[in-house]
Structure 1
Amino acid sequence: MANTTGFKQSLGLLDGTMVVAGSMIGSGIFLVSADITRQVGSSGWLILVWVLTGFLTLTAAVSYGELSGMYPKAGGQYVYLREAYGPLVGFLYGWSTFGVIQTGTIAAVAVAFSIYSGYLIPGLDTVLLQVGFVKISYASLLALGTVVLLTYINTRGVREGKFIQTFFTVIKLLSLFGLIIFGLAVAARGSIWHANWQGAWDMQHFSGVSWSSVSLIGAFGFVSAAMVGSLFSSDAWNNVTFIAGEIKRPERNIGLSLLLGTLIVTIIYVSANLMYVSVLSLHDIAFAPKDRVAVAVAERIFGATGGVIIAVMIMISTFGCNNGLILSGARVYYTMAQDGLFFKKTASLNKNGVPAYALWIQCAWTCLLCLSGSYNALLTYVIFVVLIFYILTLIGIFLLRRRQPSAPRPYRAFGYPVLPVIYCVLAAVITVCLFVFQPSTTWPGALIVVSGIPIYYIAVRKRS
């Protein structure tokens, strides 16, 4: 394939906003409220977890606007960390993005797509072959197929990827708003809402056998564990910074896309959970079959067809979500390769102006992750590593203001320095609690980051 000289700036504000919202909304909002309820055991704490998650997401998003204005380049967060801390930290982020953050998220969303396809197609989870920890079933083959298909579509050019992203995101936004409205209308005729808000702030935790009261110290651990699901559901908002080289007027439109996209999704997520506690008892939310809370709600609203409606909604949602993740992630590896820190061929664009080689490498590793495993484990690895780099990036705003006070800043971080500090403190508390209370699922993420150090020096030596 012939190479082009650079990216084409063909994405506007609407496209950027759809990348933010579409990449954030996958399967989490339909599933994770069950686990959150088992962790905290009350409607008040359930809603507070989602509100806190929305606050953290919005705070980080409006802070990133300053960095996107300073460095409107492909690679986004990789570039911000490289400029703030040097090439090693930037590389560790890019390495972690390839190893687990982006590819792990794509794999988890693809697995969720196949799970809900199984709701429509019985027997889809039939195991065809098992070799060690790798299980190959019809469902896993379907997950792989969606990743390969979307990768191929995105190698055809950014216009094709943009159409899929906007189309599927609009459909799932309208579907979610419709579900919320119907749910609240049904709830208005019942008394479940009032029952759920009795003792709304009495935290309880389900240990697997029974409910138990929670001490003040234990509350930190259970809230942090509960937020793994909500943070994962709200993650990937930064993906629009990866495609900065293809955004029109990036110094303006990236910051606005981050604000609008995260605000829309936060409103939807909090509203959806208010609707859940209006339609279902806390027991039904916590113990929804296979954690399919949205299915239980839809069956209460629409009857037997409700499960089919939600399954179709989630398939649309996860398909569109993965398109945004696949489209964006390859741009990080492209920029790393431009710095001589990734496979050389990854630094080239094909005749359609997209990094096709980077897309296929991302696809191959994602497929291996899909075959290896567990949705929940991938989710936890991703959140722990992601939070660490979000904290470092926001601290980078302070460092760059000190080192480069006269650098052009078309947009300045809203609420600086208070909001970035609050974010860093809260996110640090969550990461520490995760490491203390869930070490078996968090240290592998840290190990992936650390493993990038020798690889960085090998890459630097080879480049020299």
Structure 2
Amino acid sequence: MTQKPPTSQGRRCLDLTSAVAIVAASMIGAGVYTTSGFSIATADSAWTVVVLWIIGGFAAVCGAIGYAALSRRFTESGGEYLFLSKTLHPVAGVVAGWVSVLAGFTGPIALAALALDVYLVDAETSALPAGSFAALAIVAAAVLHSISVHPSARVQDVVVALKLAVLLGLVCFAATVGPSNWLGLQAADTPPFSWGETATSLLYISFSYAGFNAAIYIAGEVKDPQRNVPMAMVVGTVVVAVLYIALNAAFVLIPSRESIAGQPDVATIAARAIGGTTLETLVRWVIVVSLATSISALVMTGPRVYAKMADDGFLPRFFSFQHRVPLGAIWIQAVASIIVVFWTDLQFLLGYLSFTLMFCSALTVAMVWKQRDLDLWGSQWLPKIASAMFVLFSVMTMVVSARVNMGGTIAAFVTLAIGVGVYLLRSKSNAPDSGAKLGLERKSEE
């Protein structure tokens, strides 16, 4: 007799703390430790970089509020695939799901793993080929999340808490460095202000905030999802945004401009300027842990989207839940991410991910205006105003992305077109009723 997969109620084992940890782990990746080095190289002032991090954080909080309102109505796992299928049209949902398969999780996993590989190789000399540590990290995360949701989430809770504590300690230590020692403010030769360069920096900073919506991908496994999923996204995003702003203020204000301009390892350079080689070593390993937990969170959340698509007939049944985890989806995603690790170009990948993820997020958040009687914490206008601001920010960012990385933008449109093709093929063959079920029926949410 074939064992039936557990109901969503039976899978609900994650509490608010775990959901917040998943959001924080998904957000704190490679971008926060590297972006400011490139931004300061073209900025007219260190404070300009700090302001850009504030703008990016505000936009991320607005996006989290929009997602939070939608998550109160749709309490199952599935992310943008589920939201767009039920609010706009099934084809939009399938396109978003397809983007998740290629760009939403596989690409960011590879990006974080590659950054982890760089920091590990710098920390300990290794004779292994480049990318080996990245592949091992992905495999380790896949093994961890293949066992069960609850124990792997608890391990991640503890690691994320330790990581946040050390990063907060770095911020507090940096605050003790007097303004007279802020070398970043003493640079004599700085480039003039440029709207183009500033917009480009904001593009990459905004990508560093990606992951604020991570809780929607595991909503079907969260206790009391109407309360905990919205709270996890908003609280997690606010906490990470404040930490990002404080960290990057330290990164660009304390070291000399010349020492960090154009450098990818700005975090370790800043740590050395603040507390010497001991603090630099500590921060380097905190970054390694941060990237490892980011990989873990993405490996955990992505397969839940694929499982939902498989349940609706748009992916093979192999992607569905087996027992308590979507085992097949976890390992297919792991293999795909490892392939990207060994075959990708980071600059191309960054432009591709920036455009595709921003497009799907903006389209999803815009659905707040399409839903009647949608509220968050007793207010109907809070999510509407926040979503409008996020969509406006996203459109401007996508325009910049298209200009900066035309190849990545073209690849993004190809991905969207393939998603439409997947919908047409599956809806006409193996899943003729899936579109109607997703688009027209309003199932009661648990």
Report the AA paired with residue 218 of structure 2. I
1:239 is aligned to 214
1:65–1:412 contact (8 Å) kept in structure 2: no
2:438 is aligned to none
Alpha-carbon deviations, 1:193-234, whole Å to 9, x = none? 6536x89xxxx6xxxxxx4x355xxx1x32332123212221
C-alpha root-mean-square deviation of aligned residues, in Å? 2.1
Alpha-carbon deviations, 1:149-206, whole Å to 9, x = none? 111110111012212220121111011111111122134562536536x89xxxx6xx
* Residue 341 of structure 1, aligned match among 314, 333, 342: 314
* Residue 419 of structure 2, aligned match among 442, 452, 456: 452
CA drift of 1:454 comes to 1.5
CA drift of 1:317 comes to 0.5
Equivalent position SS for 1:4: coil
Return the alpha-carbon distance in structure 1 between the equivalents of residues 49 and 144 of structure 2: 39
Alpha-carbon deviations, 1:53-88, whole Å to 9, x = none? 001100010111111000001112221111121111
Q: Does 1:350 align with 2:329?
A: no
Change (3 A) 1:5 1:374: same
Q: Does 1:63 align with 2:66?
A: yes
Return the alpha-carbon distance in structure 2 between the equivalents of residues 191 and 435 of structure 1: 36
Percent identity reads 24
Report the AA paired with residue 91 of structure 1. V
Q: How does 1:142-291 map to 2 (within 5 A)?
A: 142-188=133-179, 190-192=181-183, 194-195=185-186, 211=191, 213-214=192-193, 219=195, 221-288=196-263, 291=264
Segments of 5+ residues of structure 1 without an aligned counterpart are 127-136, 205-210
1:150–1:326 contact (8 Å) kept in structure 2: yes
Q: How does 1:400-415 map to 2 (within 5 A)?
A: 400-401=371-372, 405=373, 415=382
Equivalent position SS for 1:73: coil
* Residue 92 of structure 1, aligned match among 86, 91, 95: 95
CA drift of 1:457 comes to 1.2
Report the AA paired with residue 392 of structure 2. V
Change (3 A) 1:154 1:180: same
1:252–1:410 contact (8 Å) kept in structure 2: no
Segments of 5+ residues of structure 2 without an aligned counterpart are 433-446
Return the alpha-carbon distance in structure 2 between the equivalents of residues 2 and 145 of structure 1: 32
Number of residue pairs matched by the alignment: 428
CA drift of 1:377 comes to 2.5
Q: Does 1:431 align with 2:398?
A: yes
2:437 is aligned to none
Return the alpha-carbon distance in structure 2 between the equivalents of residues 171 and 144 of structure 1: 24
| TM-score normalised by length of structure 2 | 0.90
Q: How does 1:37-48 map to 2 (within 5 A)?
A: 37-48=40-51
Report the AA paired with residue 425 of structure 1. L
Report the AA paired with residue 455 of structure 1. V
Q: Does 1:419 align with 2:394?
A: no
Return the alpha-carbon distance in structure 1 between the equivalents of residues 286 and 47 of structure 2: 27
Change (3 A) 1:170 1:413: farther
Change (3 A) 1:119 1:413: farther
1:18–1:166 contact (8 Å) kept in structure 2: yes
2:110–2:338 contact (8 Å) kept in structure 1: yes
* Residue 332 of structure 1, aligned match among 292, 295, 305: 305
Return the alpha-carbon distance in structure 2 between the equivalents of residues 26 and 438 of structure 1: 21
1:42–1:282 contact (8 Å) kept in structure 2: no
Change (3 A) 1:182 1:6: same
Alpha-carbon deviations, 1:353-411, whole Å to 9, x = none? 1111111111111111111123332222111111111111121111122xxx5x79776
The runs of at least 4 aligned residues of structure 1 exceeding 3 Å deviation read 407-414
1:110 is aligned to 113
2:348–2:407 contact (8 Å) kept in structure 1: no
| TM-score normalised by length of structure 1 | 0.87
CA drift of 1:456 comes to 1.8
